[in-house]
């Protein structure tokens, strides 16, 4: 009888807790966004220049008036933070006419 009671108690104690993955993934995402915002602030860029898409995709679109030093600073900080995927948004507006590369 004691064995059954212990099994039932163990089953109840583990089965009633919600999965921790949902809360953890939200907080990890919030930490990543906070990290991107800190990079933007440190490098003198608006927060909208760095956005997190999906889990690990970063879109980097500095304003056209951004200084090169700010752009370089952001790339350096992103490399240090080891975000796995980075894409540049808006490069198509800088294509040189007549260049087919």
Is the pTM value of this prediction over 0.85? no
Q: Could you tell me the residue range of the domain that residue 57 belongs to?
A: 46-90
Tell whether 29 is covered by a domain. no
pLDDT of residue 8 exceeding 70, the answer is no
Tell whether 68 is covered by a domain. yes
pLDDT tens digits, 14-34: 444 444 445 565 588 899 999
Tell whether 30 is covered by a domain. no
Tell whether 63 is covered by a domain. yes
pLDDT of residue 84 exceeding 50, the answer is yes
- C-alpha to C-alpha distance for 25 and 32, rounded to whole angstroms: 11
Tell whether 18 is covered by a domain. no
What is the domain count for the chain?
1
- Give the model's pLDDT for residue 94: 54
Distance in Å from the first CA to the final CA of the chain: 77
Tell whether 59 is covered by a domain. yes
Taking 3-state DSSP, the helix, strand and coil percentages for the chain, each rounded to the nearest 5, stand at: 60, 10, 30
């Amino acid at each position: 009888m004691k064995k059954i009671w212990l099994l039932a108690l163990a089953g109840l104690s583990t089965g009633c807790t919600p999965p921790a993955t949902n809360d953890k993934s939200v907080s990890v995402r919030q930490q990543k966004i906070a990290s991107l915002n800190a990079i933007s602030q440190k490098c003198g860029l608006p927060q909208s220049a760095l956005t997190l898409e999906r889990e690990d995709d970063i879109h980097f679109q500095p304003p056209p008036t951004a200084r090169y030093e700010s752009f370089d600073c952001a790339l350096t900080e992103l490399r240090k933070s080891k975000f796995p995927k980075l894409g540049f948004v808006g490069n198509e507006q800088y294509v040189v006419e007549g260049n087919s590369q």
